[in-house]
Structure 1
Amino acid sequence: MMTTPLGIIAGTGFYDLDALEDPVVETVETAYGEARFTRGRWHGIPVVFLTRHGAGHSVPPHLVNYRANIRALADAGVRDVVAVNVTGSIDPELEPGDLLCLDDFLDFTKGRVSTFHDGSGPEGVVHVDVVGAYHPELRREILDAASVVGEAIRDGGVYACFEGPRFETPAEIRLARLAGADVAGMTGVPEVVLAVEAGLRYAAISLVVNPAAGVGAQDPITMDEITAVLAASSAKVLAILDDLVHTRATFAS
Protein backbone atom coordinates (compact mmCIF):
# COMPACT_ATOMS: atom_id res chain seq x y z
CA MET A 1 0.00 0.00 0.00
CA MET A 2 1.32 3.43 -0.95
CA THR A 3 1.57 5.80 2.02
CA THR A 4 2.08 9.54 1.71
CA PRO A 5 4.94 10.82 3.86
CA LEU A 6 4.17 12.19 7.30
CA GLY A 7 5.71 15.61 7.85
CA ILE A 8 7.25 16.40 11.23
CA ILE A 9 8.39 19.95 12.00
CA ALA A 10 10.30 20.72 15.18
CA GLY A 11 12.25 23.58 16.67
CA THR A 12 14.40 24.31 19.68
CA GLY A 13 16.05 21.18 21.05
CA PHE A 14 14.81 18.91 18.25
CA TYR A 15 17.49 19.11 15.57
CA ASP A 16 17.47 15.51 14.39
CA LEU A 17 15.28 12.45 14.59
CA ASP A 18 17.29 9.42 15.63
CA ALA A 19 14.38 7.07 14.97
CA LEU A 20 14.56 7.65 11.22
CA GLU A 21 15.83 4.67 9.24
CA ASP A 22 18.05 5.34 6.22
CA PRO A 23 17.93 9.13 6.62
CA VAL A 24 18.76 11.24 3.58
CA VAL A 25 19.19 15.02 3.86
CA GLU A 26 17.73 16.97 0.94
CA THR A 27 18.03 20.64 0.04
CA VAL A 28 15.32 21.78 -2.35
CA GLU A 29 14.54 25.01 -4.15
CA THR A 30 11.01 26.38 -4.01
CA ALA A 31 9.42 29.50 -5.44
CA TYR A 32 9.99 31.02 -1.99
CA GLY A 33 13.60 30.04 -1.47
CA GLU A 34 15.56 27.08 -0.21
CA ALA A 35 14.40 24.48 2.30
CA ARG A 36 16.26 21.60 3.90
CA PHE A 37 14.75 18.43 5.36
CA THR A 38 15.54 14.79 6.07
CA ARG A 39 13.71 11.90 4.46
CA GLY A 40 13.60 8.49 6.08
CA ARG A 41 11.33 5.73 7.32
CA TRP A 42 9.92 5.25 10.79
CA HIS A 43 8.23 1.96 11.60
CA GLY A 44 8.40 1.37 7.88
CA ILE A 45 6.40 4.41 6.75
CA PRO A 46 7.91 7.44 4.97
CA VAL A 47 8.61 10.51 7.11
CA VAL A 48 9.93 13.93 6.17
CA PHE A 49 11.55 15.71 9.12
CA LEU A 50 12.25 19.44 9.07
CA THR A 51 13.91 21.42 11.85
CA ARG A 52 12.92 25.08 11.68
CA HIS A 53 16.10 26.59 13.06
CA GLY A 54 18.53 24.56 10.97
CA ALA A 55 21.52 22.62 12.18
CA GLY A 56 22.78 23.90 15.51
CA HIS A 57 19.96 26.45 15.87
CA SER A 58 21.46 28.78 13.26
CA VAL A 59 18.24 30.49 12.12
CA PRO A 60 16.36 32.81 14.53
CA PRO A 61 12.56 32.53 14.64
CA HIS A 62 11.82 35.78 12.81
CA LEU A 63 14.06 34.73 9.89
CA VAL A 64 12.76 31.18 9.40
CA ASN A 65 11.58 30.84 5.80
CA TYR A 66 8.18 29.44 6.71
CA ARG A 67 6.82 29.66 3.16
CA ALA A 68 9.72 27.68 1.71
CA ASN A 69 9.43 25.06 4.46
CA ILE A 70 5.72 24.44 3.98
CA ARG A 71 5.93 24.56 0.20
CA ALA A 72 8.80 22.06 0.26
CA LEU A 73 6.84 19.63 2.43
CA ALA A 74 3.79 19.87 0.20
CA ASP A 75 5.94 19.35 -2.91
CA ALA A 76 7.51 16.30 -1.22
CA GLY A 77 4.09 14.66 -1.07
CA VAL A 78 3.36 15.39 2.58
CA ARG A 79 -0.31 15.81 3.43
CA ASP A 80 -0.25 15.58 7.24
CA VAL A 81 2.13 17.61 9.43
CA VAL A 82 2.74 17.17 13.15
CA ALA A 83 4.63 20.12 14.60
CA VAL A 84 6.42 20.49 17.93
CA ASN A 85 6.56 23.92 19.58
CA VAL A 86 8.69 24.72 22.62
CA THR A 87 6.81 27.31 24.67
CA GLY A 88 6.58 29.41 27.78
CA SER A 89 3.54 29.03 30.02
CA ILE A 90 1.07 31.91 30.22
CA ASP A 91 -1.44 29.85 32.19
CA PRO A 92 0.10 29.70 35.69
CA GLU A 93 -1.24 26.17 36.14
CA LEU A 94 1.11 24.92 33.44
CA GLU A 95 4.55 23.80 34.57
CA PRO A 96 7.81 23.07 32.73
CA GLY A 97 7.50 19.67 31.09
CA ASP A 98 3.73 19.91 30.54
CA LEU A 99 2.29 19.13 27.11
CA LEU A 100 -0.65 20.61 25.20
CA CYS A 101 -2.30 19.60 21.95
CA LEU A 102 -3.02 23.06 20.53
CA ASP A 103 -6.37 24.03 19.07
CA ASP A 104 -6.11 27.80 18.40
CA PHE A 105 -3.62 30.63 18.07
CA LEU A 106 -3.05 34.36 18.48
CA ASP A 107 -0.72 36.22 16.13
CA PHE A 108 1.40 38.95 17.71
CA THR A 109 4.09 38.84 15.03
CA LYS A 110 4.96 41.97 13.05
CA GLY A 111 7.26 41.56 10.08
CA ARG A 112 6.63 38.10 8.70
CA VAL A 113 5.23 37.17 5.31
CA SER A 114 2.24 35.15 6.44
CA THR A 115 0.59 34.02 3.21
CA PHE A 116 1.26 32.46 -0.15
CA HIS A 117 -1.38 34.78 -1.62
CA ASP A 118 -0.23 38.33 -2.38
CA GLY A 119 -2.96 39.03 -4.93
CA SER A 120 -0.67 38.73 -7.94
CA GLY A 121 -1.45 35.11 -8.79
CA PRO A 122 -4.26 33.77 -10.97
CA GLU A 123 -6.33 33.08 -7.84
CA GLY A 124 -6.33 36.80 -6.95
CA VAL A 125 -7.02 37.77 -3.37
CA VAL A 126 -7.65 34.76 -1.11
CA HIS A 127 -9.10 34.82 2.40
CA VAL A 128 -8.45 31.52 4.17
CA ASP A 129 -10.66 30.24 6.98
CA VAL A 130 -8.46 29.17 9.90
CA VAL A 131 -11.20 27.85 12.18
CA GLY A 132 -9.96 24.34 12.82
CA ALA A 133 -6.46 25.18 11.55
CA TYR A 134 -5.21 22.51 13.95
CA HIS A 135 -6.86 19.59 12.22
CA PRO A 136 -9.27 17.74 14.55
CA GLU A 137 -8.53 14.26 13.19
CA LEU A 138 -4.78 14.74 13.45
CA ARG A 139 -5.21 16.20 16.94
CA ARG A 140 -7.11 13.06 17.89
CA GLU A 141 -4.20 10.91 16.72
CA ILE A 142 -1.86 12.88 19.01
CA LEU A 143 -4.20 12.59 21.99
CA ASP A 144 -4.73 8.87 21.43
CA ALA A 145 -0.99 8.27 21.13
CA ALA A 146 -0.36 10.18 24.37
CA SER A 147 -2.96 8.03 26.11
CA VAL A 148 -1.37 4.80 24.85
CA VAL A 149 2.12 5.74 26.09
CA GLY A 150 0.79 7.17 29.36
CA GLU A 151 1.83 10.79 28.83
CA ALA A 152 -0.45 13.50 30.15
CA ILE A 153 -1.37 16.12 27.56
CA ARG A 154 -3.94 18.90 27.73
CA ASP A 155 -6.64 18.59 25.09
CA GLY A 156 -6.63 22.12 23.68
CA GLY A 157 -4.62 25.25 24.18
CA VAL A 158 -4.16 28.68 22.63
CA TYR A 159 -0.69 29.50 21.29
CA ALA A 160 0.35 33.16 21.29
CA CYS A 161 3.07 33.75 18.70
CA PHE A 162 5.45 36.65 19.24
CA GLU A 163 8.07 37.99 16.83
CA GLY A 164 11.21 37.19 18.82
CA PRO A 165 14.05 36.56 19.03
CA ARG A 166 13.82 38.40 22.37
CA PHE A 167 11.59 37.00 25.07
CA GLU A 168 8.28 38.75 25.76
CA THR A 169 7.71 41.47 28.33
CA PRO A 170 5.45 40.88 31.36
CA ALA A 171 2.99 43.38 29.85
CA GLU A 172 2.87 41.46 26.57
CA ILE A 173 2.21 38.24 28.44
CA ARG A 174 -0.57 39.89 30.48
CA LEU A 175 -2.14 41.07 27.20
CA ALA A 176 -1.94 37.58 25.71
CA ARG A 177 -3.46 36.07 28.84
CA LEU A 178 -6.37 38.51 28.68
CA ALA A 179 -6.91 37.35 25.10
CA GLY A 180 -7.08 33.72 26.22
CA ALA A 181 -3.59 32.44 25.45
CA ASP A 182 -2.16 29.48 27.34
CA VAL A 183 1.39 29.41 26.00
CA ALA A 184 3.79 31.74 24.21
CA GLY A 185 6.20 30.91 21.42
CA MET A 186 7.94 32.39 18.39
CA THR A 187 7.46 29.90 15.53
CA GLY A 188 3.87 28.63 15.36
CA VAL A 189 2.67 31.45 13.10
CA PRO A 190 2.65 31.80 10.12
CA GLU A 191 3.53 28.10 9.90
CA VAL A 192 0.04 26.90 10.80
CA VAL A 193 -1.63 29.40 8.43
CA LEU A 194 0.62 28.48 5.53
CA ALA A 195 -0.12 24.80 6.12
CA VAL A 196 -3.84 25.53 5.80
CA GLU A 197 -3.26 27.53 2.61
CA ALA A 198 -1.20 24.68 1.16
CA GLY A 199 -4.00 22.20 1.86
CA LEU A 200 -2.10 20.32 4.56
CA ARG A 201 -3.61 18.81 7.69
CA TYR A 202 -1.63 20.32 10.58
CA ALA A 203 -1.53 19.70 14.32
CA ALA A 204 0.92 20.74 17.00
CA ILE A 205 2.27 19.55 20.33
CA SER A 206 3.35 22.32 22.70
CA LEU A 207 6.08 21.46 25.21
CA VAL A 208 6.25 23.97 28.07
CA VAL A 209 9.85 24.68 29.09
CA ASN A 210 9.57 27.80 31.27
CA PRO A 211 7.10 30.22 32.83
CA ALA A 212 6.62 33.22 30.53
CA ALA A 213 7.70 36.65 31.72
CA GLY A 214 5.79 37.73 34.81
CA VAL A 215 4.28 34.29 35.40
CA GLY A 216 5.33 32.78 38.70
CA ALA A 217 8.83 33.59 39.95
CA GLN A 218 10.48 36.67 38.54
CA ASP A 219 13.82 35.01 37.74
CA PRO A 220 15.21 35.86 34.29
CA ILE A 221 14.43 33.37 31.53
CA THR A 222 17.64 31.64 30.45
CA MET A 223 18.55 29.19 27.71
CA ASP A 224 20.21 27.01 30.35
CA GLU A 225 16.83 26.62 32.06
CA ILE A 226 15.14 25.80 28.76
CA THR A 227 17.85 23.33 27.76
CA ALA A 228 17.56 21.51 31.09
CA VAL A 229 13.79 21.06 30.70
CA LEU A 230 14.22 19.89 27.11
CA ALA A 231 16.73 17.29 28.23
CA ALA A 232 14.29 16.00 30.83
CA SER A 233 11.08 16.20 28.77
CA SER A 234 11.79 15.77 25.06
CA ALA A 235 11.50 11.99 25.41
CA LYS A 236 7.79 12.42 26.21
CA VAL A 237 7.20 14.13 22.88
CA LEU A 238 9.20 11.52 21.01
CA ALA A 239 7.24 8.70 22.70
CA ILE A 240 3.97 10.24 21.51
CA LEU A 241 5.30 10.65 17.98
CA ASP A 242 6.60 7.09 18.01
CA ASP A 243 3.21 5.64 18.90
CA LEU A 244 1.42 7.86 16.39
CA VAL A 245 3.74 6.68 13.62
CA HIS A 246 3.54 3.06 14.78
CA THR A 247 -0.26 3.20 14.71
CA ARG A 248 -0.22 4.62 11.20
CA ALA A 249 2.19 1.92 10.11
CA THR A 250 -0.12 -0.75 11.56
CA PHE A 251 -3.10 0.54 9.60
CA ALA A 252 -1.04 0.96 6.44
CA SER A 253 0.20 -2.65 6.44
Structure 2
Amino acid sequence: MTSPPLGILAGTGFYALDALDDAHHESVGTAYGSVSVTRGTWHGQLVVFVTRHGAGHEVPPHRVNYRGIIRALADLGVHDVLAVNVTGGIDPDLEAGELVCLDDFLDLTRRREGTFHDGDGSGGVVHTDMTNAYDPVLRREILDAASAIGQPIIDGGTYVCFDGPRFESPAEIRLAALAGGTVAGMTGVPEVTLAAEAGLRYAAISLVVNPAAGVRPGEPITMDEINEVLATGAPKVLAVVDELVHTRSVFRTVDSDTVTS
Protein backbone atom coordinates (compact mmCIF):
# COMPACT_ATOMS: atom_id res chain seq x y z
CA MET A 1 0.00 0.00 0.00
CA THR A 2 1.53 3.31 -1.12
CA SER A 3 0.99 6.32 1.10
CA PRO A 4 0.20 9.73 -0.43
CA PRO A 5 3.22 11.88 -1.23
CA LEU A 6 4.31 14.45 1.34
CA GLY A 7 4.42 18.01 0.06
CA ILE A 8 7.38 20.12 1.17
CA LEU A 9 7.43 23.86 0.49
CA ALA A 10 10.46 26.03 1.15
CA GLY A 11 11.85 29.41 0.23
CA THR A 12 14.93 31.50 0.92
CA GLY A 13 17.99 29.31 1.36
CA PHE A 14 16.19 26.08 0.47
CA TYR A 15 16.43 25.76 -3.30
CA ALA A 16 16.95 22.01 -3.57
CA LEU A 17 16.34 18.91 -1.50
CA ASP A 18 19.51 16.85 -1.73
CA ALA A 19 18.05 14.10 0.46
CA LEU A 20 15.67 13.00 -2.29
CA ASP A 21 16.39 9.74 -4.08
CA ASP A 22 15.38 9.26 -7.72
CA ALA A 23 14.67 12.99 -7.92
CA HIS A 24 13.23 14.32 -11.14
CA HIS A 25 11.91 17.73 -12.10
CA GLU A 26 8.67 18.32 -13.90
CA SER A 27 6.18 21.02 -14.74
CA VAL A 28 2.63 20.54 -13.50
CA GLY A 29 -0.13 22.37 -15.33
CA THR A 30 -2.95 23.91 -13.31
CA ALA A 31 -5.77 26.38 -13.92
CA TYR A 32 -3.46 28.96 -12.31
CA GLY A 33 -0.43 28.31 -14.47
CA SER A 34 2.39 25.77 -14.58
CA VAL A 35 4.32 24.90 -11.43
CA SER A 36 7.83 23.44 -11.28
CA VAL A 37 8.13 20.58 -8.81
CA THR A 38 10.70 17.99 -7.85
CA ARG A 39 9.46 14.48 -7.16
CA GLY A 40 11.41 11.72 -5.46
CA THR A 41 11.59 9.56 -2.35
CA TRP A 42 13.00 10.21 1.11
CA HIS A 43 13.36 7.18 3.39
CA GLY A 44 11.02 5.51 0.92
CA GLN A 45 8.36 8.20 1.40
CA LEU A 46 7.10 9.81 -1.81
CA VAL A 47 7.84 13.55 -1.70
CA VAL A 48 6.83 16.50 -3.86
CA PHE A 49 9.16 19.45 -3.26
CA VAL A 50 8.56 23.03 -4.37
CA THR A 51 10.90 25.94 -3.87
CA ARG A 52 8.67 29.01 -3.84
CA HIS A 53 11.11 31.48 -5.38
CA GLY A 54 12.52 29.16 -8.02
CA ALA A 55 15.95 27.54 -8.05
CA GLY A 56 17.66 30.88 -8.63
CA HIS A 57 15.45 32.93 -6.28
CA GLU A 58 14.07 34.84 -9.23
CA VAL A 59 10.45 35.11 -8.00
CA PRO A 60 9.77 37.77 -5.32
CA PRO A 61 7.35 36.85 -2.52
CA HIS A 62 4.44 38.95 -3.78
CA ARG A 63 4.63 37.20 -7.17
CA VAL A 64 4.84 33.60 -5.99
CA ASN A 65 2.09 31.57 -7.64
CA TYR A 66 0.56 30.38 -4.38
CA ARG A 67 -2.68 29.15 -5.92
CA GLY A 68 -0.82 27.23 -8.60
CA ILE A 69 1.51 25.60 -6.06
CA ILE A 70 -1.24 24.41 -3.72
CA ARG A 71 -3.40 23.25 -6.63
CA ALA A 72 -0.48 21.32 -8.12
CA LEU A 73 0.23 19.57 -4.80
CA ALA A 74 -3.42 18.60 -4.40
CA ASP A 75 -3.59 17.34 -8.00
CA LEU A 76 -0.50 15.19 -7.39
CA GLY A 77 -2.24 13.44 -4.50
CA VAL A 78 -0.58 15.27 -1.62
CA HIS A 79 -2.55 15.22 1.64
CA ASP A 80 0.01 16.74 4.02
CA VAL A 81 2.13 19.84 3.42
CA LEU A 82 5.20 20.69 5.46
CA ALA A 83 6.34 24.28 4.95
CA VAL A 84 9.60 25.99 5.90
CA ASN A 85 9.64 29.75 6.41
CA VAL A 86 12.66 31.99 7.01
CA THR A 87 11.55 34.80 9.29
CA GLY A 88 12.47 37.79 11.40
CA GLY A 89 11.82 37.63 15.11
CA ILE A 90 9.11 39.98 16.38
CA ASP A 91 9.28 38.50 19.88
CA PRO A 92 12.37 40.15 21.45
CA ASP A 93 13.20 36.93 23.29
CA LEU A 94 13.78 35.05 20.04
CA GLU A 95 17.38 34.50 19.02
CA ALA A 96 18.65 34.05 15.48
CA GLY A 97 18.79 30.36 14.65
CA GLU A 98 15.80 29.33 16.77
CA LEU A 99 12.98 27.21 15.33
CA VAL A 100 9.28 27.85 15.84
CA CYS A 101 6.44 25.43 15.05
CA LEU A 102 3.73 27.88 14.02
CA ASP A 103 0.11 27.64 15.15
CA ASP A 104 -1.50 30.88 13.92
CA PHE A 105 -1.12 33.68 11.38
CA LEU A 106 -1.90 37.33 10.77
CA ASP A 107 -2.32 38.47 7.16
CA LEU A 108 -1.04 41.99 6.49
CA THR A 109 -0.62 41.50 2.75
CA ARG A 110 -2.51 43.73 0.34
CA ARG A 111 -2.09 42.53 -3.25
CA ARG A 112 -2.31 38.74 -3.43
CA GLU A 113 -4.80 36.29 -4.88
CA GLY A 114 -5.75 34.62 -1.62
CA THR A 115 -8.57 32.21 -2.40
CA PHE A 116 -9.76 29.52 -4.76
CA HIS A 117 -13.32 30.69 -4.09
CA ASP A 118 -13.75 33.96 -5.95
CA GLY A 119 -17.49 33.60 -6.51
CA ASP A 120 -17.29 32.15 -10.00
CA GLY A 121 -18.53 28.72 -10.98
CA SER A 122 -20.86 26.28 -9.25
CA GLY A 123 -19.11 26.60 -5.89
CA GLY A 124 -20.14 30.20 -5.42
CA VAL A 125 -18.98 31.94 -2.27
CA VAL A 126 -17.30 29.60 0.24
CA HIS A 127 -16.18 30.57 3.75
CA THR A 128 -13.41 28.30 5.06
CA ASP A 129 -12.69 27.89 8.78
CA MET A 130 -9.13 28.88 9.75
CA THR A 131 -9.26 27.91 13.44
CA ASN A 132 -6.74 25.10 12.87
CA ALA A 133 -5.11 26.27 9.65
CA TYR A 134 -1.88 24.77 11.03
CA ASP A 135 -2.97 21.18 11.45
CA PRO A 136 -2.59 19.98 15.07
CA VAL A 137 -1.71 16.40 14.11
CA LEU A 138 0.99 17.42 11.65
CA ARG A 139 2.32 19.99 14.14
CA ARG A 140 2.65 17.20 16.71
CA GLU A 141 4.67 15.17 14.23
CA ILE A 142 7.08 18.10 13.85
CA LEU A 143 7.40 18.60 17.60
CA ASP A 144 7.92 14.88 18.21
CA ALA A 145 10.55 14.68 15.47
CA ALA A 146 12.45 17.61 16.95
CA SER A 147 12.28 16.06 20.42
CA ALA A 148 13.52 12.71 19.12
CA ILE A 149 16.75 14.25 17.82
CA GLY A 150 17.20 16.72 20.67
CA GLN A 151 16.55 19.80 18.54
CA PRO A 152 14.91 22.63 20.50
CA ILE A 153 11.81 24.07 18.86
CA ILE A 154 9.22 26.49 20.21
CA ASP A 155 5.72 25.04 20.35
CA GLY A 156 3.44 27.70 18.91
CA GLY A 157 3.84 31.11 17.38
CA THR A 158 1.98 33.59 15.18
CA TYR A 159 3.34 34.24 11.71
CA VAL A 160 2.73 37.79 10.49
CA CYS A 161 2.85 38.02 6.71
CA PHE A 162 3.87 41.17 4.83
CA ASP A 163 4.01 41.64 1.06
CA GLY A 164 7.74 42.27 0.70
CA PRO A 165 10.11 42.12 -1.00
CA ARG A 166 11.27 45.00 1.19
CA PHE A 167 11.79 44.38 4.87
CA GLU A 168 9.24 45.76 7.31
CA SER A 169 9.52 49.14 9.03
CA PRO A 170 9.98 49.38 12.81
CA ALA A 171 6.45 50.83 13.08
CA GLU A 172 4.99 47.88 11.17
CA ILE A 173 6.76 45.48 13.50
CA ARG A 174 5.49 47.36 16.56
CA LEU A 175 1.96 47.04 15.14
CA ALA A 176 2.47 43.33 14.54
CA ALA A 177 3.79 42.89 18.08
CA LEU A 178 0.71 44.59 19.52
CA ALA A 179 -1.41 42.09 17.58
CA GLY A 180 0.47 39.15 19.12
CA GLY A 181 2.90 38.43 16.30
CA THR A 182 5.86 36.15 16.95
CA VAL A 183 7.70 36.18 13.63
CA ALA A 184 7.51 38.21 10.42
CA GLY A 185 7.73 36.76 6.93
CA MET A 186 6.64 37.26 3.33
CA THR A 187 5.41 33.88 2.07
CA GLY A 188 3.30 32.11 4.70
CA VAL A 189 0.02 33.68 3.54
CA PRO A 190 -1.96 32.89 1.42
CA GLU A 191 -0.12 29.58 1.28
CA VAL A 192 -1.59 28.38 4.58
CA THR A 193 -5.12 29.58 3.79
CA LEU A 194 -5.13 28.06 0.32
CA ALA A 195 -4.02 24.73 1.76
CA ALA A 196 -6.97 24.85 4.15
CA GLU A 197 -9.33 25.66 1.27
CA ALA A 198 -7.93 22.72 -0.70
CA GLY A 199 -8.49 20.35 2.23
CA LEU A 200 -4.77 19.74 2.82
CA ARG A 201 -3.19 19.34 6.24
CA TYR A 202 -0.56 22.07 6.57
CA ALA A 203 2.11 22.81 9.18
CA ALA A 204 5.17 25.03 9.17
CA ILE A 205 8.59 25.35 10.72
CA SER A 206 9.85 28.91 11.05
CA LEU A 207 13.62 29.48 11.10
CA VAL A 208 14.34 32.82 12.76
CA VAL A 209 17.31 34.46 11.02
CA ASN A 210 17.31 37.98 12.46
CA PRO A 211 15.53 40.31 14.87
CA ALA A 212 12.79 42.14 12.96
CA ALA A 213 13.18 45.85 12.27
CA GLY A 214 13.40 47.94 15.43
CA VAL A 215 13.39 44.99 17.83
CA ARG A 216 17.00 45.81 18.59
CA PRO A 217 17.27 49.54 17.88
CA GLY A 218 20.18 50.63 15.76
CA GLU A 219 20.78 47.18 14.23
CA PRO A 220 20.05 47.16 10.48
CA ILE A 221 18.95 43.99 8.70
CA THR A 222 21.49 42.71 6.19
CA MET A 223 21.50 39.76 3.81
CA ASP A 224 24.99 38.87 5.05
CA GLU A 225 23.54 38.39 8.53
CA ILE A 226 20.63 36.34 7.19
CA ASN A 227 22.85 34.12 5.04
CA GLU A 228 25.18 33.48 7.95
CA VAL A 229 22.31 32.23 10.11
CA LEU A 230 20.88 30.24 7.22
CA ALA A 231 24.15 28.37 6.86
CA THR A 232 23.88 27.05 10.42
CA GLY A 233 20.09 27.00 10.74
CA ALA A 234 19.09 25.18 7.57
CA PRO A 235 20.69 21.89 8.70
CA LYS A 236 18.64 22.06 11.92
CA VAL A 237 15.43 22.32 9.92
CA LEU A 238 16.42 19.54 7.54
CA ALA A 239 17.34 17.29 10.47
CA VAL A 240 13.85 17.70 11.94
CA VAL A 241 12.21 17.02 8.58
CA ASP A 242 14.46 14.00 8.05
CA GLU A 243 13.37 12.53 11.38
CA LEU A 244 9.71 13.22 10.62
CA VAL A 245 9.93 11.52 7.23
CA HIS A 246 11.91 8.60 8.69
CA THR A 247 9.32 8.10 11.43
CA ARG A 248 6.55 8.12 8.86
CA SER A 249 8.37 5.52 6.78
CA VAL A 250 8.80 3.26 9.84
CA PHE A 251 5.11 3.48 10.74
CA ARG A 252 4.16 2.86 7.12
CA THR A 253 6.31 -0.29 7.06
CA VAL A 254 4.78 -1.52 10.32
CA ASP A 255 1.26 -0.85 9.06
CA SER A 256 2.03 -2.63 5.78
CA ASP A 257 3.42 -5.65 7.62
CA THR A 258 0.32 -5.74 9.79
CA VAL A 259 -1.95 -5.67 6.75
CA THR A 260 -0.08 -8.42 4.91
CA SER A 261 0.63 -10.72 7.85
Q: TM class by shorter-chain length?
A: over 0.9
Q: SS where residue 189 of structure 2 aligns?
A: coil
The answer as to 2:59 corresponding to 1:70 is: no
- Give 1:219 deviation, angstroms: 2.0
- Give 1:29 deviation, angstroms: 1.1
Q: In structure 2, how many angstroms separate the alpha carbons of the residues matched to 1:105 and 1:75?
A: 25
Q: In structure 2, how many angstroms separate the alpha carbons of the residues matched to 1:5 and 1:88?
A: 30
**Where in structure 1 do 4 or more consecutive aligned residues deviate above 6 Å?**
none
Pairing 1:1-253 to 2, within 5 Å after superposition: 1-253=1-253
Q: In structure 1, how many angstroms separate the alpha carbons of the residues matched to 2:132 and 2:45?
A: 26
- Give 1:250 deviation, angstroms: 0.3
Q: In structure 2, how many angstroms separate the alpha carbons of the residues matched to 1:240 and 1:80?
A: 16
- Give 1:180 deviation, angstroms: 0.1
Supply the AA of the counterpart residue of 1:221.
I
TM-score using structure 2 length? 0.96
- Give 1:182 deviation, angstroms: 0.4
Identify unmatched segments of 5+ residues in structure 2: 254-261
Q: SS where residue 202 of structure 1 aligns?
A: strand
What is the CA deviation profile of residues 164-184 of structure 1, one whole-angstrom value per residue up to 9, with x for unaligned ones? 000000000000000000000
Q: SS where residue 18 of structure 1 aligns?
A: coil
Between the aligned residues of both structures, percent identity stands at: 70
Q: SS where residue 189 of structure 1 aligns?
A: helix
Q: In structure 2, how many angstroms separate the alpha carbons of the residues matched to 1:145 and 1:106?
A: 26
Across the two proteins, how many residue pairs are aligned to each other? 253
- Give 1:224 deviation, angstroms: 1.0
Q: In structure 2, how many angstroms separate the alpha carbons of the residues matched to 1:240 and 1:72?
A: 25
TM-score using structure 1 length? 0.99
Q: In structure 2, how many angstroms separate the alpha carbons of the residues matched to 1:212 and 1:29?
A: 37
- Give 1:218 deviation, angstroms: 2.0
Q: SS where residue 105 of structure 1 aligns?
A: strand
Moved more, 96-105 or 214-223: 214-223
Identify unmatched segments of 5+ residues in structure 1: none
